Amino acid sequence: MTASEKSSHVEAQIDVQNYDSAEDRALLRKVDLRLLPVLTLLYLLSFLDRSNIGNAKIDGMLTDLGVPAPGYNTSLAIYFVGYILFEIPANVPFWLLSFSPRGSYLMELRLKHFNPQIWLPSLTLVWGIVSICQGLVTNQAGLFGIRFLLGAAEAGLFPGVIYVFSVYYRRHERSWRVAIFFGGAALAGAFGGIFAYALGLMDGVGGRRGWQWIFIIEGILTSTISLVAYFIVPTWSHQAKFLTEEERNRLLERLLADSDAGSNQSFQWSSVRSAFEDHLVWAYAFLFHGFSFVLYSLSFFLPTIIAGLGFQTWQAQLMTVPPNTLASLSIWGTVWLSSRWNARAPFIIASAVVAIVGYIVLITCTTPGLQYFGVHLAAAGVYTGNSLLLSWPGENVSGQTKRAVAVALQITVGDIGAIAGCLIYRPTLSSSLYRKPNFIAIGYLLFAILMTIYLWVMMGRENRRRQRLLAERKIDSLSETDEERLRLGDRSIHYTYQL
């Protein structure tokens, strides 16, 4: 490396240190105000439209449709079958875009037809229409079919938003934003209870039952907001009109200095193989598998569990609000601390422990008040843990192809856990407040803790090994070229995992 090249690297290093200036913070606030409210709202609607079936169930849906109790569990599982099958195809437009050379015809085609400003609201519009159709089904076959379509339509939102975050934020800046975004899931549970109570009062209006109006009105709300979202959801960062040209250039500089998100990388099958061969990638997937089991079993069966405590239907609808509200506050508070201390693993473990305590209280106590308190602890721990772990591979897997595969694998393996949760919480076990499934939920959380410890230990050991090698060999940390850094990704000796 020549003196001039080394000087430029030093200057780049200094720039990286200045990326937290007052101007950068103002830029991030501007981006946050444009991205977070609308994307969080879309995810709130997504979670609301997938989980409101739990509210419809206790409002008489199964009886009216002639669906036997086990059919409810099957309908929940079918949703995730559609979600898993269409998760990768729904995000192919984003992947092809990132693998296309700048200025190529394919790039121009993807920017024109599959940019987030069009793609994400379009997905929202489709699942809003499907959600409306949930209120129009008349039998079990119709319920199964519409749940599959809902899963397929919603599959692209979460991974798509995570990809959008990667072209606006640096690695350590994403976890807080993902947490705010994921907080929409907990808020959906809170609003869902209120909506379900209000819409249940429409029973008989237009000759339709209250549970039908839950699907229809909430689906109309989603479809309406999707139309507004076409004018609010931002496009790619280098085309964002809400930013000045200077601000767009600054965003690109920040990305290039921090990760590979701002670079051009061609698709490589070796990167796909690298993802499947990486034990850390599989650990992220199994970690979400453990938490996904409890996330969806709790969200789908929470109204039934609360009703099982002895409360009437309308009370159970409203009493889902406090646990989900607490979960939202827990998410934002915990992730703020996690970002401030730049730590993920200890907070994921702590969240799992809180959830386990909640399930133990729910299982062992006999008074409704204490059991309801256990529900609060379980909701806070489950939602908070998920909000932390879902951003973790995006921070630690480098290389655009490898990261795309890692995120897809995490969601796919994780949602298999959701299918298991939907099938294990069988109606025959509801009389005992799902005592046996709750024990299984504790086992899944313990498994998630083990996966977290594994990731924490292995990445920490690798960080120390790389630091030791750099010290022993006296390798100049500025000697690695940009091309080498991008090619090696997270295997680079200079790459530091976020723990």
- 323: tokens are 């646990």
Q: Within 13 Å and on the Cβ side, how many CA atoms surround 430?
A: 20
The CA–CA distances, whole Å, from 285 to 31, 264, 386, 416 equal: 30, 27, 12, 10
Cα 61 to chain centroid distance, Å, stands at 29
In angstroms, the CA 484 to CA 159 distance is 28
Cα-Cα-Cα-Cα torsion 416, 419, 421, 422, nearest 10 degrees, comes to 170
Residue 261: what pLDDT?
Answer: 55
Rg (CA), the chain: 23
Collapsed DSSP state (helix, strand, coil) of residue 185 = helix
Residue 107: what pLDDT?
Answer: 40
- 259: tokens are 């990760």
Q: Closest Cα to residue 294, out of 368, 389, 367?
A: 389
Residue 348: what pLDDT?
Answer: 96
CB 331 within 8 A of CB 179: yes
Neighbours of 475 (CB within 10 A): 14
Q: Determine the residue type at 446.
A: L
Mean pLDDT, the chain cut into blocks of 10 residues (499 residues total): 39 51 88 93 91 88 91 92 82 53 43 71 95 94 96 88 83 82 80 81 90 94 96 84 88 75 58 85 95 90 79 75 89 88 93 97 89 93 93 81 80 90 84 86 97 96 88 60 66 83
- 486: tokens are 């991008």
Residue 163: what pLDDT?
Answer: 78
Contacts of 278 (CB under 8 A, 6+ apart): 397, 402, 406
Structural domains present in the chain = 33-248+279-491 (1.20.1250.20)
